[in-house]
Chain A
Amino acid sequence: MADSPYPELKKTHTMARVGRPWTDVKPVPSAPVWNVIFGLGAYWMLVGAIELGLFDALWEHGPLDPGELAKHLESSAPHVESLADALVVLGLLDRHEGRFDLNDCSRRYLCSESPAPMADLVAVAPGPAENWTDLVGTIRRGEPARPVDGDGAGFWVPLVEGTFGTVLRAASRADAWISYSHLNAPRVADLGAGGAPWSIAVLLACPGATAVVNDLPEVLEVARARLAEAGVEDRCELRPGDYHTVALEDESFDLVVLGHICRTEGADGTRALLGRAAAALRPGGRVLVSDYFRTEDPSRSPQGVFMAATMAVCTVRGTAFTYEQMSSWLREAGLGEVRLIEPIAAQQIFVATKPTGPPESSD
């Protein structure tokens, strides 16, 4: 038998004393390149399936063959089958005996009635598609041609609507770690609140709680509607405006929430926000910084690294900060007891406490 052009990797006989054995001996697979090429299509197939109502059809009708599914979607059967097969490959559907069905992932996250809905998030989370097609220009210029920073109605309103459910779950589950429900009538400052999921979670858990809810005027309309749906609008004061300058009373709040806002602000803006938060907290109060963070080693924090790239193509100062940066900035702001919690997958929150003063002497 002829020798293989690329002998199999065996530690026993290929482990040279220099170099990396797995690249010295045979070429690396091309799978990472193909994965990226197919990545564009994968994203748009998920967006399309949600827009067509594919997941909801399977939720409502159960397993369907391609023809039945196409009929419910009022679409071409061969094209629906092509799309659904791709979703099977992506791990978002099952196909048994020719019939498509939801799997555990799509049942939990991708249907309108899912217990942890993410469908609204898919279309808006990566930012505008045209910003990605201008990636090279953005990199050369050092900033995007069409940043979304001030586009309250066009970008932020759909984004906060899309992210509301996920963040509300994270905020509600966070009580298991930080126990805000035990606070006596806490006062919350929710800066850049979006649809105000954090305020809603705390106000629902604490009957006496009140909140100051801040965001751009058009975004606050989303918050107003969500607060009303939750029945807590009468305990909230809406303060429209820039969170860098909106009025905040010193030492008046038990919780200050910076929910997914720091990554648009750059390092200086973020440190300024942490300083504002520290000043606004009562002694013993806590700041909650929810965001996507990264490690120095990019391979350990893919979500943070991708979010940094997303922010760079969409916003003027956007990035993702390292865990080390955020934890050290919290301490620089005079806060202590820094913790990192993850109430639900991929939703991480730094929690830091304003000191209550020097401890009493034990003498």
Chain B
Amino acid sequence: MSSSNDTSDPGRLEPVDLLIRAGHVVTMNPRRDIVRHGAVAVRGSEIVAVGKEADLRARYEAAATAGGDRFVATPGMVNSHIHITGEPLTRGYVPDDIDFAENVFGWLCPLYATYTANDERISAQLAATEMLRSGTTCFLEAGTVRFLDDVVDGLVEVGIRGRVGRWVWDLPPEPDVYRQNTDEAIANLQAVLDRHGSVAGGRIAGHVILVGHNTASDPLWRAAREIATDSGAGFSFHMSPAQLDPDSFLAEFGQRPIVHLAELGVLDDDVALTHCVRVDDTEVRILAETGASVAHCPTTALKVAYGVTQVGKMPEMMAAGVNVAIGTDGNNASNYSDLMRATYLVAGLFKDARCDPQMFPAEMAYEMATLGGAGAVQAHDQIGSLEAGKKADIVLHDTDRPEWRPLLNVMSQLVWSADGRGVHSVWVDGAQVVDAGHMTTIDEERLWADCQAAGEAICARSGLPDKAKFPMV
């Protein structure tokens, strides 16, 4: 469980930068050990050892210590699908009683297109802040960023880990600001990797991301596959949240989407498909055979009425061996970006839908939020668990809170009781970014004010009216 490469004199303490102490350390290591009265030793950006606090104190001399017995330490969660621009600053403005097509084409596309470069920068910072403060240390962007330079700059300042891409498609002719032909789309994919392949020591990195659905030509799908293979970066896109995608592929190709993409050679173990609510058994089998991951976004399915509990095959995907991770999606489909709340839904939805309490136990849901997400972003060797040699992306949950007491079963509490508001401290790459529930890297008060002003301005100039149903006195 604990390890060290130390070969120096016995009795001499090895220096580390930080010792993080916790009453429970939820390691998510291969045995899923939970260490009582444990600690995590950190040097630089990496975890040196995980074990009993007393053992680590006997072996390491820490320049600083943090935490204490009232905390539960966990690996940072991985949000496998989130739109960090386009929606955080217009959170909740889109009505919750419209269908998928009106939601996407009538509201979301125009709102996204209204964001300026600075809007996208602070939107990304707001999303990153919400994620970090609720225990998510890494995310996979949905591929709907327009001003990536500004977004990456903002993310580096906040200190989160992320995989990002630009808005890339080649078929829809509008909104005008997103119009691209196939050559331009391919160039945009390559440019993301060329400009942002590895930023801030690899904390922010470009990913091969298409908008997906039915918005890409076959040449673009194939080119994206080639770029992902050549670069080693992961590959992600939306697919089949609603019936529109299968209907479209069946009409065009006589094949369901995942069958068609498999035939094109697009699918592999570096691919993460988002949603996959409307898939059939053949598509599930293909996902398992190719090793692709699926980003399950339960909050979106609920709010936009995808029917995930009626037709979703997430239990069958898990049974087939598909890596199913969890995402929170956009802030109009899921107003929050707290992955703990989404994990709660993952644990519960199919228990009820199938009348089967053995569906998605808390432990499985938490694996999906950590190790599953790490796999979806192609970083399973770096993040997702607290183990020596992995990145020091660590979260402390404060258990001196009503929802955490009494603490008798830590995994049950993490999934069924707690949410992100109990997160006290967060480290990414060994650097503390949240302390006592607040960001250490940016001025929160200024961010709130900037976001409020920008959000009101975006809504006002979008031409989309306020559809709130209760009057404002």
Contact = CB atoms under 8 A, between A and B. Distances in A.
Interface of A: 10-12, 15-22, 175-179, 182, 293-295, 297, 299-301, 304, 322-324, 326-328, 337-342, 348, 350
A263 to B, nearest CB: 15
A337 B460 CA distance: 10
B459 A340 contact: yes
Nearest to B252: A11
B171 A11 contact: yes
A293 B467 CA distance: 17
Contacts of B182: 15-18
Contact of A17 (B175, B181, B467): B181
B464 A340 contact: yes
A12 B471 CA distance: 51
B252 A340 contact: no
Q: What 8 pairs between A and B have smallest CB-CB spacing?
A: A342-B465, A179-B471, A327-B460, A15-B217, A324-B461, A323-B461, A17-B182, A323-B463
Contacts of B183: 17-18
Interface residues of B, number: 34
B465 A20 contact: no
A348 B466 CA distance: 10
A178 B460 contact: no
B180 to A, nearest CB: 10
Contacts of A340: 459-460, 463-466
Contact of B110 (A16, A20, A21, A300): A300
Nearest to B177: A297
Given A327-B457, A338-B460, A348 B465 contact: yes
Interface in B102-156: 110, 113
B423 to A, nearest CB: 25
A19 B466 contact: no
Contacts of B176: 297, 299
A19 B185 CA distance: 12
A323 B186 CA distance: 34
Contacts of A175: 471
Nearest to A16: B182
B367 to A, nearest CB: 38
Contacts of A299: 174, 176
Q: Which residue of B186, B461, B464 has the most chain A CB atoms within 10 A of its CB atom?
A: B461
Contacts of B253: 12
B219 interface: yes
A350 B460 contact: yes
Interface in B253-288: 253
22 contacts: A11-B171, A12-B218, A12-B252, A12-B253, A16-B182, A18-B181, A175-B471, A177-B471, A178-B472, A182-B471, A297-B175, A299-B174, A300-B175, A301-B463, A322-B461, A323-B462, A327-B460, A328-B461, A337-B456, A340-B459, A340-B464, A340-B466
A6 B316 CA distance: 45
Contacts of A326: 460
B408 interface: no
B473 interface: yes
Contacts of B469: 176
A177 B472 contact: yes
B188 to A, nearest CB: 13
Nearest to A349: B465
A179 B472 contact: yes
Given A20-B173, A179-B473, A338 B217 contact: no
B468 interface: yes
B218 A11 contact: yes
Nearest to A177: B471
A326 B459 CA distance: 12
Contacts of A304: 463
Contacts of B467: 342
A341 B461 contact: no
B389 to A, nearest CB: 43
Contacts of B110: 295, 300
Interface in B322-360: none
B183 to A, nearest CB: 5
Interface string B170-199: 110111100001110010000000000000
A335 to B, nearest CB: 11
Contacts of A300: 110, 175, 463
Contacts of A21: 171, 217
A341 B466 contact: yes
A178 B473 CA distance: 6
B174 A15 contact: no
Contacts of A12: 218, 252-253
Q: Which residue of B252, B457, B463, B465 has the most chain A CB atoms within 10 A of its CB atom?
A: B463
B181 A20 contact: yes
Contacts of B219: 15, 17
Contacts of A294: 463
Contacts of B473: 179, 182
A328 B471 CA distance: 24
A339 B466 contact: yes
Given A15-B219, A15-B220, 19 more contacts: A11-B171, A11-B217, A12-B252, A12-B253, A15-B182, A17-B186, A17-B219, A18-B183, A21-B171, A21-B217, A22-B173, A179-B471, A294-B463, A297-B113, A300-B175, A322-B461, A327-B457, A340-B460, A340-B465
A324 B465 CA distance: 13
A10 B462 CA distance: 34
Contacts of A176: 469, 471
Contacts of A338: 456-457, 460
A224 to B, nearest CB: 30
A81 to B, nearest CB: 38
A300 B186 CA distance: 27
